[in-house]
Homo-oligomer: A and B are copies of this chain.
Amino acid sequence: MTDRDTSRTLAHPEAAEIRLEGVLHALSDPVRLSIVLDLAASADDLACSHFDLPVTKSTTTHHFRVLRESGVVRQAYRGTTKLNALRRDDLEALFPGLLDSVLTAAAAEAERLTST
- A interface vs B, CB < 8 Å? 16, 19-22, 24-25, 27-30, 33, 94-98, 100-102, 104-106, 108-109, 112
Interface on chain A toward B: helix, strand, loop, or mixed SS?
Answer: helix
* Contact of A109 with B97 at beta-carbon distance under 8 Å, contacts A21-B30, A25-B28 already known: no
Measured between beta carbons, the chain B residues less than 8 angstroms from A25 are 24-25, 28
Contact of A24 among B100, B102, B108 (CB under 8 A): B102
Give every chain B residue within 8 A of A29 (Cβ-Cβ).
21
CA distance A33 to B20 in the complex (A): 10
A101 touches B106 (CB 8 A): no
22 interchain pairs, CB-CB under 8 A: A20-B33, A21-B28, A21-B29, A21-B30, A24-B25, A24-B28, A25-B25, A25-B28, A28-B28, A94-B108, A94-B112, A95-B101, A95-B104, A95-B105, A96-B101, A96-B105, A96-B108, A97-B104, A98-B102, A98-B104, A100-B101, A101-B101
